[in-house]
Amino acid sequence: MIVKRCSVDSIDFNGIQIRDYTSKLDSRSSFAVVTVPSGALHVESWSRRSDKYYYVISGRLEFTLDGEQQVLSAGDLCVVSKGQHFSYQNRELKEAQVCLVHTPSFDLNSEVFI
């Protein structure tokens, strides 16, 4: 199966742009490319359903996992286990881009935002 970028809708989540390549598929995992502009913040949240894998393609993001902060750069991976509280923000002047995988696949009703 091939999914072309031009066929993927962009979703705005508080200024963060999410392109979910698997939203129209019935798959066990989901895959998205997330663009995080300078100054953008993903509020603290956790998932009742999925583990999340954030792979930084470009830029830098400050991730907070269960209260501990780490700065991630291109090539770094952040694994957020189901039930683990997390947030992230871009404090840099340039946007950041990450690949995001949910396993099992993303379900908005299973996400808890604090």
Written as one string, the DSSP assignment of 2-36 is ---GGGPPEEEETTEEEEETTTTS--SSEEEEEEE
Total domain count, the chain = 1
Task: With CA atoms as reference, report the closest residue to 32 among 51, 11, 47, 48.
Answer: 11
Domain contains 63: yes
pLDDT at residue 25 in the model: 84
User: Are the C-beta atoms of 41 and 61 separated by less than 8 Å?
Assistant: no
- For 29, half-sphere exposure in the C-beta direction (CA atoms, 13 angstrom radius) is 10
40, part of any domain: yes
**For residues 36 and 20, what is the distance between their CA atoms, to the nearest angstrom?**
14
Domain annotation covers residue 46: yes
Collapsed DSSP state (helix, strand, coil) of residue 88 = strand
Position 114 in a domain? no
Residue 54's CATH number? 2.60.120.10
DSSP state of 45: E
Could you tell me if residue 2 is inside a domain? Answer: no
Asked if residue 38 belongs to a domain, the reply is: yes
pLDDT in tens, the chain (114 residues): 888 999 998 999 999 999 999 988 888 999 999 999 999 999 999 999 999 999 999 999 999 999 999 999 999 999 999 999 999 999 999 999 999 999 999 999 999 999
Boundaries of domain holding 65: 7-108
